Amino acid sequence: MTVDLKKLAWTFMEGAKYNLAKDGSLAPCVVLVAEKLHVIPLQFKDQAEKDLAYAAIADVAKELKASACIAINDAYMKSSSSLKDLESHVPGDLALDPKAEEAIIICVKFVARDKKDWALACPYRRVNGKIKFSSVQKMKATNTPMIPDWN
């Protein structure tokens, strides 16, 4: 399946922003790009369950022979963060940092090593019961967070 992943990721970002503004929370999911798009909702209570959920996604991606994986999630990041900072942080430590912002993170990971993984991040703040979004940043990834290799 040929799909414009940049366009798709930006469309997912707009949808995630809309849902977050409307509902006040974001439901994480993964989209696997194979012969067709496979949308897989995720649920987890803690970091251990999150790690298991993403490991299971890697197994499904391998089974489907997915060429790419798009993860839609939220995380904390510092306004000066790069995706490298998100990759190396200890789960939960940024949530405790008063300078950290919540952000919608959309990671795009490829099975082919000749393609570079990348991500979109949109920091936001909760102000008087409303969500205030900052501008979306595109970031390079050296090791896309959360998503294990599946090849």
All structural domains of the chain with their residue ranges: 5-140
pLDDT in tens, the chain (151 residues): 688 999 999 999 999 999 999 999 999 999 999 999 999 999 988 888 888 898 899 899 999 999 999 999 988 876 555 555 554 444 556 566 667 788 999 999 988 777 888 889 999 999 999 999 999 988 876 555 567 777 6
Q: What is the H or E stretch that residue 62 is in?
A: helix 47-64
Contact 124/132 with Cβ under 8 angstroms?
A: yes
Contact 38/64 with Cβ under 8 angstroms?
A: yes
- What pTM does this model have? 0.84
- Note the pLDDT of residue 80: 52
